[in-house]
């Protein structure tokens, strides 16, 4: 830590108390903002490497992953007044004819083992049949515009849209995971906030 010398005032020199108060307030505000940034940007991660986690056998039918088996499932904290970055990484496949075009939809939902929890993220993955695993990474943004932090687990669902039975999958090479980190205040990240889902 750097120690700065105290500069003695000249004889008869008096500091303005209002100026001292302003400098003190500015220094405290600066430290508060630094502390907020240091503690507010810690990322959280749910993951599994346990293989097939959910399978949708009927086109248009969404099926929830029951648990982050063999991995971790923290309670995610969405900070009041902040925008958060959600990253989905993992793999999907369909059991249709080899080389045939398929499509799998994957959703991030508020809550675990649910198809009715609020949808916080959505992506589609093009597949090629024969249960060939296709990996993907997608990013979504979520804002908490309420006055209080929102704490929840997050879950994934799979929806067969085209091709054979659809599944979501993760292993040691392609972990199935959702990570979240606060990236800044809604009032400051207006473009991010404009496309973010409002968590409730």
Q: What is the pLDDT of residue 125?
A: 97
Q: What is the pLDDT of residue 80?
A: 97
Q: What is the pLDDT of residue 189?
A: 97
- Please tell me the pTM assigned to this model: 0.80
- Say if residues 156 and 53 touch (Cβ distance below 8 Å): yes
- Say if residues 53 and 31 touch (Cβ distance below 8 Å): no
Q: Domains in the chain, start-ordered, CATH in brackets?
A: 42-198 (2.60.120.660)
Task: Say how far apart CA 23 and CA 73 lie, in whole Å.
Answer: 45
What mean pLDDT do residues 20-47 have?
A: 73
Q: 127-144, pLDDT tens digit by residue?
A: 999 999 999 999 999 999
Structure tokens at 76: 């995610």
């Amino acid at each position: 830590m750097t120690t700065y010398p105290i500069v003695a005032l000249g004889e008869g020199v008096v500091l303005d108390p209002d100026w001292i108060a302003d400098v003190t307030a500015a220094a405290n505000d600066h430290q508060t903002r630094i502390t907020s940034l240091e503690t507010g940007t810690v990322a959280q991660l749910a993951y599994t490497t346990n293989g097939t986690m959910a399978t949708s056998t009927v086109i248009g039918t969404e099926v929830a992953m029951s648990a982050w088996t063999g991995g971790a499932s923290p309670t995610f904290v969405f900070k009041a007044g902040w925008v958060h970055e959600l990253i989905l990484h993992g793999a999907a496949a369909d059991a249709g004819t080899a080389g045939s075009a398929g499509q799998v939809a994957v959703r991030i939902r508020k809550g675990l083992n649910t198809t009715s929890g609020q949808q916080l993220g959505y992506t589609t993955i093009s597949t090629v049949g024969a249960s060939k695993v296709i990996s993907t990474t997608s990013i979504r943004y979520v804002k908490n515009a309420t006055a209080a932090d929102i704490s929840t687990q997050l879950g994934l669902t799979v929806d067969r849209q085209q091709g054979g039975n659809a599944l979501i999958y993760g292993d040691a090479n392609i972990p199935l995971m959702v990570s979240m980190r606060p990236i800044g205040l809604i009032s400051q990240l207006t473009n991010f906030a404009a496309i973010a889902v409002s968590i409730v």
